[in-house]
Structure formats: structure tokens, C-alpha cells
Amino acid sequence: MKAFRLLLCTFLSLFSLGQASKLAVPSEMLAMYNAYVLDFVKNGAKRTLGPGLSNEALVDFGTFTAHVWIDIKFDRKGLFLSQAPEYGKNTLSQITKSLPKYPLYDRSHLLKDDSVTNHQMVLKKLHHVVQSTRGSTASGFSDAWKTHLPEFKRAFAGTQGARLSEMFSVGLKPLFEKKFTTSNLKSSSYPVLDTDVSYVYQNWGLTAASEDNPIDAINKYLEWYRGLLSETEKTRGVKTYLSHREITASIGKSLSQLDSLDSCD
């Protein structure tokens, strides 16, 4: 009976776990932490993010991340002792070295909100939490906003970039090259805001440039792509691609809204 209860408990706990794109995980961790800082400084013990952590003082990045992401152990030094980690290649590299093959996080450790049930909703919630803190008169909030809003935006843009890059390599590129067997879908590198981080995703113009008639080729590619988005009976590969596309579109919408939040009222 004890073994059964343990198995049942383990099974039920999986409903609170979420798995992110491994390429995007470091950026998502940084977005989560910066949102947590703003939430903590404004709301303290009444915050939405980081339930179960100290209500008396901000925890550092390593403590927060180890609380939320299960089976991840960070060295207690450098970046992981910081309360203001800076988004960049070096930071992402340090985090990546500590990641397991399939990083999992516990939504109940991240959020005090049972209505959030999937990863897309988690990312939207981060945006809403940050947006809701604007204009706080709490002690120290103005300085926290000036530091952590830009870092949140960089990390959120990095999350979108990483997901777009992964969508290109394991999603769209194989689908494209299965359809157009004599063509290779080419990519270009795009920077993440004002950082040294960049990701790649599809470049239709560069792909069409290698064809005899580039204009006809790009029209053909885009007609296929539009059809891909509107297919009524989608293959598993298409469904997965479109699911991730929806997430990146949602992040893009959030970033556009955050562009108006560069300073407190």
C-alpha cells in the first residue's frame, strides 16, 4: 500500500511539472528570476512568484533557480550568488553547463496560481506579473525597475530567439526540405536586443536566391508556408511546429507591450 501511495503521489506531482526547450531554458530562468525580483520588491510575502522562498529577503539567482528547476545543482559561486545576473553569452554558457538533458521545472514552486497549467501560460504570467508591478511606490522599487525590467526584456527576447532557432532547425527546416527536395532552407543570425547573444532562423530571401528564378521561388515557398499554417489535418511534426510558433508569437506580443514600460510613472 505504501508503494502504491508513493507511486500515486509521484504520478500526480508530474501534473505540476513543465518542460521547456533546452536551448531556451537559460533565458527562461533569467526571465523568471528578474520577474521574481520585481514581484518581491513590490509585493513581498504577497507575491505570485517564488512561493516557498524566504519572505524576509531576496534570494540569489542560484537559490531561486534551484528551487524552481528540479534536479539542477549549481556551484555556489559567481553568477549563482548574484541578485542581478546580466544577460549575455557568458551567463547563458554558465547556466547551460549545469543543465540535465531534459530540464524540468515545478510550476507550483514558481507560481502561486493554480490556473496556470501549461508552459505558454507560464510565460504569459511572467509578463503579466512584471507589467502589474509598474508604478509601485514600494521602497527600493524604482531602482529595481531600472535594473530588472531591461534584464527581463532581454531574457524574454532571448527566450523567443532560442525557440525560433530551435523551431527552424528541428521543425521548419525538415518539413521544408521534405517538400522541396532539391532546396536547402537557409538561415540568418539575429541578435537579441542590445546583447552579444544571437540566434538563427529562416531566411526565405536567401533560400530563394539560389534558385534560377528567385521571385517565383520565394512565392512558391511562402504559398507552401501559408498552407502549412492553415492545414486542417496536420501531421505530428506540423502540430509541434505550430504549437511552438504560437508560444513565440505570444512572447513577441508581450515584448511589444513591455516596450511602453521603460520607466516608472
Q: Dig out the grid coordinates for 181 from the structure.
A: 527536395
| DSSP single-letter state for residue 82 | -
pTM, to two decimals: 0.87
Q: What is the pLDDT of residue 232?
A: 64
Q: What is the pLDDT of residue 13?
A: 37
Q: Provide the residue-wise pLDDT of the chain in tens; the chain has 265 residues.
A: 334 333 333 333 334 454 557 899 999 999 999 999 999 999 999 999 999 999 999 999 999 999 999 878 888 889 999 999 999 999 999 999 988 888 889 999 999 998 998 888 999 999 999 999 999 999 999 999 999 999 999 999 999 999 999 889 988 999 999 999 989 999 999 999 889 999 999 999 999 998 999 999 999 999 999 888 876 667 777 887 888 888 888 898 888 888 765 544 4
Q: What is the pLDDT of residue 19?
A: 53
198: β partners: 191
197 and 89 in contact (C-beta within 8 Å)?
A: yes
Q: What is the pLDDT of residue 110?
A: 97
Q: What is the pLDDT of residue 176?
A: 93
Other C-beta atoms closer than 10 Å to the C-beta of 141 total 18
H helices present in 133-187, as ranges: 141-167, 173-179
Q: What is the pLDDT of residue 242?
A: 82
Q: What is the pLDDT of residue 229?
A: 81
Q: What is the pLDDT of residue 260?
A: 66
The C-alpha angle 174, 175, 176, rounded to 5 degrees, equals: 90
The residue to which cell 510565460 is assigned:
123
